[in-house]
Structure 1
Amino acid sequence: MNSIIDERFKMPNAFWHGLKAIGLSPTSVLRQAGLPITLHIRDNSQVTTAQLFRLWQAIETLSEDPTVGIRFATSLQTALLPPSSLVAFYARDYRDGLARTARFKRMCAPERVDMRCEGDECSITVEWLHSRCAEPAALADVAFTSFVELGRQGTGERIVPKRIELMRSNMDDSAYQHYFGCSVRFGSSRNTLVLDSADLDRPFRTHNAELLEMLVPALASALQEQEACSSVSDEVKVVLKRSMASGRPDLAYVARELGTSERTLQRRITGEGNNFRRLTLEARQDMVRSLLLDSAIEINEVAYLVGFEDANSFYRAFRSWEGVTPAQWRFSRSSH
């Protein structure tokens, strides 16, 4: 069963340096995103996935550049990357580098990189484990540009993807054509980078076995410790939150998502002194509170997003949980 990391995570210093490299000040981006303007100078500051998305929406707005993600990713200095990202550049080949990226990326943020190879194509997608919606366009561009940059810097050759599939509407794709050198399909069902499988076997000129021997054990140990802090109950609630708006996911659905059997999942949930019904309720409550903290979301929309059939049943349920109405709860939090 795949483990996940906590919903809150620390923004790497490379992010703030990247903002300056593209001509944006961290303070202006934080202000536009509605986040504390000192967040970038606090050593222990953490953000949620929703706050990260707001940061990238702010970057899109302030830059007025629809391809700012490409510019951001290509401006990053490799030396400033955290060890969990840097280790990929020391891999044996492009395939190994992408695999190390997928493995250790979870240490920085609650995202999962999925690589699926079939025939002469290898498709890469990114899933944000705590979000019910797609990531901002610029953030998707950062991910795909970073994956291609890894291949180009590692091999010393101009890696050209077979194509890129993007969820956003049609736009001027000249910047994509210039950087990626491949066709772009807009209006796709999900954001996908498609590589030529043959390119994955290209050796890395940056391969460094000694540095891998130093970094990988420490990273693997840290990742194992991090995953050990995640209980099966936490993992179940993450799946429930992701799928709640589209229906009422049952135990069978969650088991499939976590790659295990219903019986095994039920046994592990019970072993933690929990039950599926309680986890479903807790996931719904957590999601409701998170959504209500975002004043841009209407209260009736919150009811829909967490699977209630109508607003009245949502209001009754919420009052039974908190003793106040959703509007009163939201006001009390916004006034703090």
Structure 2
Amino acid sequence: MKSDRIKFPSGYWAGLQLLGISPRDVASKARLPLSMMTESAGVTAAQYFKIWQAYSDLVGDTAVGIIKLATVFETAQYPPPVLATYHAHDYRDALYRMARYKQLCPPESLRITEEGEVCTIELEWTHREEPVPPVLVGATLALLLELGRRGTGLPLTARSVEFSHPMGGVKALEAYFGCPIRTGATANRLTLHRRDLDRPFISHNKELLEILTPVLDQSLEEDRNRSISEIVRRILKRSLIGGGLDIRAVASELCMSDRTLQRRLTGEGTTFKQLLTQVRHEQAREYLAEPELNIKEVAYLIGYEDQNSFYRAFRLWEGDTPTNWRSEHLRANPTS
């Protein structure tokens, strides 16, 4: 199960700037710090959707925003999981690679069905409790068609496109996709001519795929084999600052109820409270080993707003005060 926050590829911001939209304007519209949007740690699903909605609001028309994004991105600026698809053998290979490696790039997943003369790709979301901006839905499906166009070097068209919400100027979208657009549908689907899936990619690069594929497959395998306890610990480590983190917040990020999360943790012989205590203890030792951090800062970094609460907790963990523990540690490890 993928637990990482959602990361924007650098090409996203470069693409917006080519459209005359600055990341600062998007941050302002989304009411988020610019640093949060561009840092490597990524953002939550709710923040991710806010950023996309801010882009849509700045452009003004959903359809225009979709088409501009689909056509402005430079292929080389995509992250490795997406870049690998552009070097596939043919369009079919590219689409199935995209569906596979999308697991490394939340929050959407793709379900591909081939039947008769058509291939249908249905878009599903891993964070269903959050409203998904229509511009993100449209851009995701548009980029799948763009993948085929750029890979084959041909002006491919879709057979039909369905959206569950209004998408702005439908005429513009029909011109882009080259087919009828239906809104108010039960799902978001891109239907392709199945014959196009056999078209070879002029961008096929066997040597690059031989490098990227094992790395990406290993990342997928690592995610599948990671226990729920390990996933929760990872989330806690990057979310401790300032406190306020509870089981509901972690469960929401993992798209499950707090009861389900606690049940799965119990099955692995632990509890949320135990994991939180372990992570705080480990991080406290790590931060106290850094002499430039004062005790108040360490307390804040591991989720304690009250310094006295941190002192009491640390005494339970180590049988000593944070100050004494630091002095002993630095004496025993003068070069650390």
TM-score (norm 1): 0.67
Does residue 66 (structure 1) correspond to residue 66 (structure 2)? The answer is no
Supply the distance in 1 between the matched residues of 2:98 and 2:107 (Cα, whole angstroms). 13
Residue 166 (structure 1) aligns with: 163
Residue 115 (structure 2) aligns with: 118
- Selected match of 1:202 from 199, 202, 224: 199
Residue 214 (structure 1) aligns with: 211
Name structure 1 gaps, 5 residues minimum: 245-249, 252-265, 279-336
Supply the distance in 2 between the matched residues of 1:79 and 1:92 (Cα, whole angstroms). 17
Supply the distance in 2 between the matched residues of 1:52 and 1:239 (Cα, whole angstroms). 12
Does residue 231 (structure 1) correspond to residue 228 (structure 2)? The answer is yes
Deviation at 1:189, TM superposition (A): 1.3
Alignment of 1:269-308 (within 5 A): 271-273=267-269
Deviation string 1:67-91 (CA, Å, 9 cap, x unpaired) is 2022112100011111111100111
Q: Percent identity?
A: 38
- Selected match of 2:89 from 68, 85, 92: 92
Structure 1 pair 228/193, CA: closer, same or farther in 2 (3 Å)?
A: same
Deviation at 1:150, TM superposition (A): 0.7
Does residue 52 (structure 1) correspond to residue 48 (structure 2)? The answer is yes
Name structure 2 gaps, 5 residues minimum: 233-250, 273-336
Deviation at 1:166, TM superposition (A): 0.8
Give the residue type in structure 2 aligned to 1:273: G
Alignment of 1:1-336 (within 5 A): 4-6=1-3, 8-42=5-39, 44-67=40-63, 68-169=65-166, 171-229=168-226, 231=228, 241=255, 271-273=267-269
Larger Rg: 2
Residue 240 (structure 2) aligns with: none
Deviation string 1:119-177 (CA, Å, 9 cap, x unpaired) is 22221122221232452111011111110011011111121111000112375322112
Q: Are the equivalent residues in 1 in contact too, given 2:158–2:178 (CA < 8 A)?
A: yes
Give the residue type in structure 2 aligned to 1:231: I
Supply the distance in 1 between the matched residues of 2:254 and 2:105 (Cα, whole angstroms). 22
Q: Are the equivalent residues in 1 in contact too, given 2:37–2:43 (CA < 8 A)?
A: no
TM-score (norm 2): 0.67
Deviation at 1:241, TM superposition (A): 4.4
Report the aligned-residue RMSD.
3.0
Q: Are the equivalent residues in 2 in contact too, given 1:122–1:195 (CA < 8 A)?
A: yes
Deviation at 1:201, TM superposition (A): 1.4
Supply the distance in 2 between the matched residues of 1:232 and 1:160 (Cα, whole angstroms). 46
Supply the distance in 2 between the matched residues of 1:119 and 1:217 (Cα, whole angstroms). 33
Give the residue type in structure 2 aligned to 1:125: E
Q: Which moved more, 1:223-232 or 1:159-168?
A: 223-232
